[in-house]
Structure 1
Amino acid sequence: MTLTKTEMLAQANIASKNTLMETLNIEMIDFGEDFLVARMPVTPKVHQPDGVLHGGATAALAESVGSFASHIFTDTENMFVRGLEITANHLKSIKEGFVYAKATFLHKGRTTQLLDIRVTDEADNLISICRLSTISLPKKK
């Protein structure tokens, strides 16, 4: 049975309960054949001491959306996904509103995946550029 887009996003968001994603209020909001989009509110909960979005929260958003993207496009009956490495270049600060992370595949191999994740604000200004590599490993029977 194939899930609808709404059902797939709902499942991803339900899977985030009692995790870092729930703590940071990260929500998966859109996906297509080779991308996934998540959003996170920018509130004092994700600020650094001087009142702007913490780079670690941005990296957590990027890794969350990238890992979920790899998970969605992987045979999860037989495989599981883990992050290998993430890099983040923070280009602009933001104090409030939402940030959006769009993960797109640069490489979608059977074992390794490489994702480009662009984090933008509500006006589509680029906040951070991240790269995430993931690995798909067989589940033990």
Structure 2
Amino acid sequence: MSIWKKNTDLARLNATSEKTLTAHLGILFTEVGDNSLTGTMPVDQRTVQPFGLLHGGASVVLAETLGSLAANLTVPQDKVCVGLEVNANHIRGVKSGIVIGTATALHIGYTTQIWSIEIKNERGQLVCISRLTIAVINKPIP
């Protein structure tokens, strides 16, 4: 049974990233499962630190992007989700290629959500594990 309450079309999800940090870093949403959202990010000049390894901050951006968007897909139209806290453990360095992140809900509550995001390299090895805590709030009136 799917946890999504909003349209999860990949083309529409990717279009939401236009002119954002997500687009600047080359993050693409690639798969919507029944209870997970997956995306990729290139490891290139935009996402590495001075030693040529994937920047930990870039991994956190991927994690928060996946978890936040996934959270927003699980709430009614009159609610939005915003990040409260994110943490990350960086496990393995990556010098090139892409990384693949998958966000999975640990808790979907009325006022808070908790998401686990695993980021792996192209060989399926764990690169980073992140946990994102989300606040569910009333949608602001424009």
- Shorter-chain-normalised TM-score: which range? over 0.9
Structure having the higher helix fraction is 1
Which residue pairs with 1:125 in the alignment?
A: 125
In 2, distance between residues paired with 1:23 and 1:59? 15
For normalisation by structure 1, the TM-score amounts to: 0.92
In the TM superposition, residue 93 of structure 1 has moved relative to its aligned partner by 0.2
Match of 1:45 in 2: 46
| Correspondence 1:69 to 2:70 | yes
- Ranges in structure 2 where 5+ consecutive residues have no aligned partner: 1-5
**Can you list the C-alpha shifts for 1:25-80, whole angstroms capped at 9, x where unaligned?**
000100122110010011122110000100000000000000011011111x2011
Aligned to 2:108: 108
* Ranges in structure 1 where 5+ consecutive residues have no aligned partner: none
- Aligned partners of 2:140 and 2:132: how far apart in 1? 25
Q: Distance in 2 between matches of 1:104 and 1:79?
A: 20
Aligned-pair RMSD on alpha carbons?
1.3
Query: TM-score, normalized by length of structure 2?
Result: 0.92
2:3 equivalent in structure 1: none
Between the aligned residues of both structures, percent identity stands at 38
> Which 4+ stretches in 1 moved above 4 angstroms?
none
Q: CA offset at residue 111 of structure 1? A: 1.4
